[in-house]
Amino acid sequence: MERFLDSFLNAKLIAATWPAILSGLVVTVEIAALVVVTGLLLGLALALLRWRAGRWIGWPLMLFVDLFRAVPPLVLVLLIFFGLPNVGIELPSFAVLWLVLSLVLAAFAEEIVWAGLIAVKRGQSEAARSTGLSENQTLIYVVLPQALRLAVPPLTNRTIAITKNTALGTVIGVPEIINQATTAVSFSGNATPLLMGAFAYLLLFVPVIGLGRWIESRFAWRRQ
Amino acid sequence: MDVLLQQFFNLEIMGKALPLVLQGLKTTLLICAIVIPMGLLGGVLVALATRSSLRALRVCVTLLVDLMRALPPLVVLILVYSGLPFLGLRISPLTAVTIAFFLNNAAYYGEIIRAGIESVPAGQWEAARSTGLRADQTVLWVILPQGLRNVLPDLVSNTVEVVKLTSLASVVSLQEMLYSADMARSLTFNASPIVLAALIYFALLWPAVRLVSRLEHAAAR
Amino acid sequence: MRPPHPLLDIRGLRKSFGAVEVLKGIDLAVSPGELVFLIGPSGSGKSTLLRCCNRLEEPSGGSIWFDGQEVLADRIDINALRRRMGMVFQSFNLYPHMTALGNVTLALRKVLKKPRAEAERIALAALERVGLAHKAGAYPAELSGGQQQRVAIARASALEPGLMLFDEPTSALDPELVGSVLQAMRDMRAAGMTMLVVSHEMRFAREAADRVVFMDAGVIVEQGPPEQIFGAPRHERTRAFVSEVAR
């Protein structure tokens, strides 16, 4: 038992390591926040573009979306991180992670919002157009609000899952939580920092998941 | 443009890397063959446990599910792979991957299957029991078949995620496809082998991804 | 004989869906204040004709004049025109994410650019006319079918259209809810509204219509006052249809 405590909950190490874990937590929060904003906005923009521009954008967009849904994010991270310097583009690892995860989230978000848009019954836009609302007004005031209500629960789950992928940053040296933790493990030869890292993730994501559940129940709303 | 092709779509390098990458693909498929059935089975157990009348069991399983929802899969993998040796357990990368993914997949499949079971009307349960079927027979022959069908899009979608997750095994030096491709990259100083791996992942998962879209759009209408 | 100044004047209207011709040259004029009833078997093209009037369907040929404007002209402001032709749908099509008041005020604010307070005043008056001012804060899901359809009528009439198009307004309603919607239409008629109605409510047609138009297979077979169509139809197909629905 003592040995267990010594290698997993070592008080001295906790005192020595927590600033590093904390700085990792800050980096994780920063990337996560940036990814959520850019990914969701880009995904929404793409879905609206597909709605308005119609068929000619449909195919290339579908290919983009499917590509980022089918290829593992770690593959994309390594591809961009090691590939771009070879063609003369140097991006810091932080930016690579941000870029890749934003594109992945955008792909999923586009798909989910699009599914919401086409699920809104045609009679809705017909009724709106019959009162003289323009195509854009119909989209903004009538179709999109209904589509988003359908989209929010799956979108929340997907956003949380992709935000957790910030941990992939450790592979390319982004100093986020798990990166700080594994570095500390290799210096100390002790597993305590690992548990601290895991604890930091719980600290961060348990409230997020609670929030997700709340959003889901708030939007558990069905079309009549 | 030429530089881009040279660095990302170099057919010569892809050709040279192909045997190594295919070797990795075998391992990737092996991991899938282990973790997908185990995950599904674990998922059924988790789903049934969350509906069990034993309070202790319910609490334990709910804890596991919430823990897995909060922890990134990579973190679970590193915890298992780097943490267990400190308990005196030496484990191979494949064992670590199997344990970590079982925990993660059982939780995610479990949530989906639970939703499926809950979508089956109570009348089905009552009707089956009224014909003399035991509880376990009712679950196996009446509830699960309907429940699983109701959440088929989510099951397929999660399985796509599980296959993508196997790429994390490269982080603990298991020589699956991404590991092999990255090795080829570091030998050739060229990103084309990773593009090759990406294309193979895409070819492998695209039909499933399309299927998920189809199923979801059909369900939304 | 055509009245001198029809509000709506449809000439030679054709509409095809692919190879299927649904409207095969329709001539129909509606005078101000008139209530015209379109009847006929399902698939006869009644609803398509209605939906061509405000170009929810794009006609394949012919012309439509509304209030001196050519509806099918390329450069017409279709949104301004639609605003002046109210439409009521079989399936209500209320916006489920807005209250009854929100449903009525949306076009008032976004198309007519009325300030919120004025839009709400107008909307409340429109809801009052269909007897639903007390439900202004209710969401569609909280209303019965009959109430939803009356809100839809208020939504269209609040824009003060010159013409109202009704596309089977009572077909989706339970029988006991039909009466309230017909009453709202009667009140509208009494207030002088011009109406073009597709419906299977033959008793209502007999009682309220100025003219009944019988369509079959994409053409107008016969038209005249309700006494003629229901009492002494001249055409064989009209007679068959009327005796069928009267049974």
Q: Predicted ipTM?
A: 0.92
pLDDT at C155: 95
Query: For residues A173 and A180, what is the distance between their CA atoms, to the nearest angstrom?
Result: 10
Q: Provide mean pLDDT across the span B151-173.
A: 94
Q: Provide mean pLDDT across the span B26-50.
A: 95
Q: What are phi and psi of C36, to 5 degrees?
A: -110, 130
pLDDT tops 50 at residue A222: no
- Shortest CA distance from B183: residue in chain A: A78
pLDDT at C247: 61
Taking the CA of residue C7 as centre, how many other CA atoms within 13 Å lie in the half-sphere pointing to its CB? 19
Q: Does A146 touch chain C (CB under 8 A)?
A: yes
- Nearest CA to CA, how far is A164 from chain B (Å)? 5
pLDDT tops 60 at residue C190: yes
Kindly state the greatest CA–CA separation across chain B. 72
Are C229 and C239 in contact, with CB atoms under 8 Å apart? no
- Nearest CA to CA, how far is B128 from chain A (Å)? 30
Query: For residues B198 and C112, what is the distance between their CA atoms, to the nearest angstrom?
Result: 53
Q: Which residues of B touch A185 (CB under 8 A)?
A: 82
pLDDT at C137: 95
pLDDT at A65: 93
Q: Which of C84, C87, C106 sits opposite A141 (nearest CB)?
A: C106
- Shortest CA distance from B83: residue in chain A: A191
Q: Does C93 touch chain A (CB under 8 A)?
A: yes
- Per-residue pLDDT band at A215 (split at 50, 70, 90): confident
Query: For residues B143 and B112, what is the distance between their CA atoms, to the nearest angstrom?
Result: 14
Q: Which residue reads 């004049």 in tokens?
A: C65
Interface probe for C, chosen from A126, A131, A140 (most Cβ of C below 10 Å), is A131
pLDDT tops 80 at residue A157: yes
Q: Provide mean pLDDT across the span A158-185.
A: 92
Query: For residues B133 and B105, what is the distance between their CA atoms, to the nearest angstrom?
Result: 31
Q: Provide mean pLDDT across the span C27-33.
A: 94
Are B7 and A87 in contact, with CB atoms under 8 Å apart? yes
Hey, what long-range contacts does A147-152 have (CB within 8 A, 24 or more apart)?
A: A147/A113, A147/A116, A147/A117, A147/A119, A147/A120, A148/A113, A148/A116, A149/A116, A149/A219, A149/A221, A149/C97, A150/A115, A150/A116, A150/A119, A150/A120, A150/A223, A150/B220, A151/A112, A151/A113, A151/A115, A151/A116, A152/A215, A152/A216, A152/A219
pLDDT tops 50 at residue B30: yes
Alpha helix stretches (DSSP H) within chain C: 46-53, 78-83, 100-110, 116-129, 145-157, 175-190, 202-208, 226, 236-246
pLDDT at B133: 86
CB atoms within 10 A of CB B177: 31
Query: For residues C110 and A221, what is the distance between their CA atoms, to the nearest angstrom?
Result: 26
**Which residues share a beta bridge with C24?**
C14
Residues in chain B: 221
The residue that leads in pLDDT, A10 or C198, is: C198
* pTM for the full predicted model: 0.86
Interface probe for B, chosen from A66, A75, A157, A211 (most Cβ of B below 10 Å), is A75
Q: Provide mean pLDDT across the span B35-57.
A: 93
Q: Provide mean pLDDT across the span C208-226.
A: 94
Q: Does A122 touch chain C (CB under 8 A)?
A: no
Handedness of CA B2, B6, B8, B9 (dihedral sign): positive
- Nearest CA to CA, how far is C61 from chain A (Å)? 21
Q: Which residue reads 């013409």 in tokens?
A: C163
Alpha helix stretches (DSSP H) within chain A: 2-8, 11-53, 55-70, 73-83, 93-119, 122-130, 135-137, 144-164, 177-188, 192-218
CA dihedral C180, C185, C186, C189 (to 10 degrees): 170
DSSP element (H, E) containing C22: strand C20-30
Q: Is C110 close to A123, i.e. CB distance below 8 A? A: no
Q: Which residues of B touch A166 (CB under 8 A)?
A: 72
pLDDT at B130: 83
Q: Provide mean pLDDT across the span B187-192.
A: 91
Query: For residues C163 and C7, what is the distance between their CA atoms, to the nearest angstrom?
Result: 8
pLDDT per position as a tens digit, B96-140: 999 999 999 999 999 999 999 999 988 898 888 888 788 888 888
In sequence order, the 6+-apart residues with CB closer than 8 A to the CB of B149 are B116
Are A31 and A98 in contact, with CB atoms under 8 Å apart? yes
Q: Is C99 left (phi over 0), alpha (psi -120 to 50) or beta?
A: beta
Mean pLDDT estimate for chain C:
92
Buried b (16+ CB within 10 A) or exposed e, A172-204: bebbbbbbbbbbbbeebebbbbbbbbbebbeeb
pLDDT at B4: 82
Q: Provide mean pLDDT across the span C124-128.
A: 96
Mean pLDDT estimate for chain B:
91
CB atoms within 10 A of CB B100: 26
pLDDT tops 60 at residue C232: yes
The residue that leads in pLDDT, C162 or A87, is: C162
Q: Which residues of C touch A142 (CB under 8 A)?
A: 95, 106
Query: For residues C72 and A61, what is the distance between their CA atoms, to the nearest angstrom?
Result: 34
Specify the pairing of strand C85-88 against strand C163-167. Answer: parallel
pLDDT at B220: 60
| Axis crossing angle, helix A93-119 with helix A144-164, rounded to the nearest 10 | 150
The residue that leads in pLDDT, C223 or C4, is: C223
Query: For residues B165 and B158, what is the distance between their CA atoms, to the nearest angstrom?
Result: 10
Are A178 and B78 in contact, with CB atoms under 8 Å apart? yes
- Shortest CA distance from C145: residue in chain A: A224
pLDDT tops 50 at residue C246: yes
pLDDT per position as a tens digit, A88-130: 888 999 999 999 999 999 999 999 999 999 999 999 999 999 9
At residue C15, the 3 state secondary structure works out as strand
Candidate from A8-12, A20-24, A71-75, C215-219 with smallest mean pLDDT: A8-12
Two tokens, residue C46: 């009644």
Two tokens, residue B98: 């199997």
- Shortest CA distance from A115: residue in chain B: B217
DSSP element (H, E) containing B96: helix B93-118
pLDDT at C1: 46
- Shortest CA distance from C79: residue in chain A: A132
pLDDT tops 80 at residue C225: yes
Q: What is the DSSP string of C186-223?
A: HHHHHTT-EEEEE-S-HHHHHHH-SEEEEEETTEEEEE
Q: Chains meeting A at 3+ CB pairs closer than 8 A?
A: B, C
Q: Is C97 close to A145, i.e. CB distance below 8 A? A: yes
Find, among C247, C83, C52, the residue nearest to C167 by Cα. Answer: C52
Are C154 and C132 in contact, with CB atoms under 8 Å apart? yes
- Nearest CA to CA, how far is C26 from chain A (Å)? 22
Find, among C39, C77, C34, the residue nearest to C55 by Cα. Answer: C77
